[in-house]
Structure 1
Amino acid sequence: MDSARPSEASPLAHEFPRIAQLSRDELRELVETPANAHEARDQSAYLDALLHTLPDVRALYDEHEQLLHDVECAAAQNEQLRPVLLALRAQTRATYDEACAADAAWPAIEREMDEAYKVRILTLTKRFTPSALQTRLQLAMNEVHDESETLANAYVEGLPTSAAGDIIDDTTFVRQYRALRTLYHRRAMLLEQCARQRVQWHP
């Protein structure tokens, strides 16, 4: 059997040094058509074994194994995160549904707010109409009048005018009574001007 090997200077020996170590008979066994199924299986197994010894093939195989390992690790990590992701998905869906419901309900809420605002403005406007302000002025004038009368009666009868039970002296009575009556007459004059429509109210 011819056991000569390819020349080390040949392109085959340069690109595939592992194959260059094979004899011509071994190379012939790799490329010749098998005579039967048994030889075909042997040839295929031999060729696979030879290919896996080549550096480039080995590098590709190692790269494939690393990629497969990375994919398996990523799949395992995703499986661990699956419950969290499903819960987050459900929460996101619920939040989205709530947002849609709120968006659908907003027109009605906006109408209610607008109506409430109109009622509030109307109420405030009524409180500051000329007739309402005149009524409030009348009540305030009556309140000052009653307060001055109460002070005068307490002074005349010698009754206490404070929660502490103090009896008011002459000087204090004159000062307080004068202030109350002055305020009363000012409000009375303003009320009279209102009755004559000489006062313009500005809300």
Structure 2
Amino acid sequence: MTELARGQINSLLSENPSTITVVDGHLYEVPIAPTQQQQQSEGSLIINLPSNFPEEPPVITVSPTGMRHPWIDSDVVMHDGLPSWTLQSNLGLLVKDICKEFTMRPPAKKSTTVTGGTRISVVPPPLPASQLQQQQVTSMTNKTNDEGYGARPQPPIPSRSNSSNTPTSHTTNLEYNAISKLSSEEIDELLSDETGFEIFFNTLDRVKNLKAFQEELRNGNDQLAHKNLSREDQLIKLRSEVADLYNKYQTDKAAFDKKERQQNEAFSRFSSSTVLTRLKASLYESDELSESVAQSFLDGNLDNDSFVKQFREFRKVYHLRASKLERAQKDNLFVSY
């Protein structure tokens, strides 16, 4: 996570103390403060941070779904600060502004109709594009006048001819036209007949497209599952090969560790400290041998010729070793690096 993203998240938490961390760095929930008539909050904002946030603006939705408000379009909050989002924008203040708007003018729930003791939730038909745009402009103007924010730049409102050319507006108009062609009796009959309403609902183009998309996803998942199952034998074989290779690695490693210890033991016999110690010990040994020969001569155990021969050999070895030790210590031949 970048420092800019962490700074935006800290701003969200500081400006909105009631924020709930769902997935740190990605998903947060901010309860909407209840009005004076409400005992507790009946909704919350879901802030979804994309992977390249804050280069890309957050996606803010409202929970529960199906709420109506000029700032809500298909459960997505349409705040004027989101289209103009930049790295200098402040996520905490933006969410705080949305919560303030929804507290002053809470989103309305779906209308419900009770038929035969069964409560049926009905989604009101979408407003025409021109009426929805006019309602949004009126709400934003009232918000500016009530709160004293001063003049705030509003996004340009496309004309009916331009908006009707977009795919979303075209689909919405088709659905509205399909409902507007029905008489009041036909609408009442749809609301009272669950089966008839479901049949009419399934004839809408958006519903058909959604079901076709779901079918494509289902078929794709089915094909992917079959593809994965077809590789099960290959995966089991590879897993067995990996286990054999791991066992061989453990055996080779144990043999290598053993040989490495033997090598270190062999090298230790020729280390500087070992050689110097052995040289000193041999020097002391030669001196002791020559002294023992002299003592044997004094005790009468050796004649003159034997004493001279043995004593001279032992002292010769002694002086050679003493010379080597002196040379080694003088030239630092046995200094460990």
Please give the range of the TM-score, normalised by the shorter of the 2 chains. 0.3 to 0.5
TM-score using structure 2 length: 0.26
Q: Which protein has greater RCO, CA pairs closer than 8 Å, 6+ apart?
A: 1
Of Structure 1 and Structure 2, the greater strand share is in 2
TM-score, with structure 1 as normaliser:
0.42
